[in-house]
Amino acid sequence: MTEITTAKRGQTLVIRFNRPEKMNALTRDMYAGLTTALNEAAGDFGVRSVVITSEGEHFTAGNDIKDFMSNPPTEESSDVARFLAALLEFPKPLIAAVKGNAVGVGTTMLLHCDIVVASPSANFSMPFTSLGLVPEAGSSKLFPELVGYQRAARIFMTGDSFDATEAKEMGLVESIAADAEGAALEIAEKIGNQPPQAIINTKALMKAGKHDAVAAVMKAEFQIFALALQSEEAAEAFMNFMSKRNK
């Protein structure tokens, strides 16, 4: 799998979206690659933390729309559902380095990360409703809890994007750095020097209060998302995207 690459940097596993020519839009194969990488990292004593980052100018343009149209993920066993489950269950520190566009799941996955470092170029958006879809990855719960109901409603319902400064003020991003990946790796290395079981236990405790509720919301979101994917509203939005690209 070359569109998701993994590399060890000391005790850190670096997972990289590597499809820059398509703005790192995520296909089923890429979700499968991400799931494998996370699950292997979870079981590997040599991996103390994971940094998720990207090749090129952007983090990711979210789900690959062509793939969505030809293979809508409607089953809990789909690659995207399996990735989201792996994200929710990942027991070790997960640090994201975000630059450029982080669209859809590119933003919602950050709600599961322990620390997010953004470059000043980062731009976040969750245009689910514009695509005839609904929020996913637990974001219908996690995002309003983070930023307040009304702000989340505006962002979800208008499709408005926001920049790194706003994301930091919201608490979606912990820090802004010109070299976001370098900064993320430094944090990962510091964490890697800590006693590993204490780190795993700390994450488990911090996440425990919400885990089951988030899992339940993700299940409900997935069912509605799967129906929405097959709706006329989504078909029209996807065709619009494709026709603009084919001109």
Residues at the site binding ligand COA, with contacts judged by CB under 6 A: 22-23, 25, 61-66, 101, 103-104, 127-128, 131, 241, 245
Residue nearest ligand COA, Cβ-based: 104
Beta-bridged to residue 13, according to DSSP, are 8, 50
Closest of 108, 218, 83 to residue 167, by C-alpha: 108
Please give the Cα distance from 233 to 41 (Å, whole number): 39
Q: Record the tokens describing residue 71, joined without a space.
A: 């293979």
Task: Tell the smallest beta-carbon distance from residue 155 to ligand COA (Å).
Answer: 14
Nearer to ligand COA, 197 or 243 (CB): 243
Nearer to ligand COA, 22 or 203 (CB): 22
- Residue 49, H or E segment: strand 49-54
Nearer to ligand COA, 50 or 133 (CB): 133
Task: Tell the smallest beta-carbon distance from residue 173 to ligand COA (Å).
Answer: 19
Task: Tell the smallest beta-carbon distance from residue 182 to ligand COA (Å).
Answer: 25
Please give the Cα distance from 127 to 145 (Å, whole number): 19
Nearer to ligand COA, 93 or 135 (CB): 135
Please give the Cα distance from 111 to 141 (Å, whole number): 10
- Sheet containing strand 115-118, edge to edge, reads 4-9, 12-17, 49-54, 94-98, 115-118, 175-176
Unique residue bearing structure tokens 């979206």 = 17
Nearer to ligand COA, 165 or 240 (CB): 240
Task: Tell the smallest beta-carbon distance from residue 246 to ligand COA (Å).
Answer: 8
Task: Tell the smallest beta-carbon distance from residue 202 to ligand COA (Å).
Answer: 32
Task: Tell the smallest beta-carbon distance from residue 65 to ligand COA (Å).
Answer: 4
Nearer to ligand COA, 115 or 128 (CB): 128
Going by C-beta distance under 8 Å and a sequence separation of 6 or more, which residues neighbour residue 53?
Answer: 14, 15, 16, 17, 96, 97, 180, 181, 184
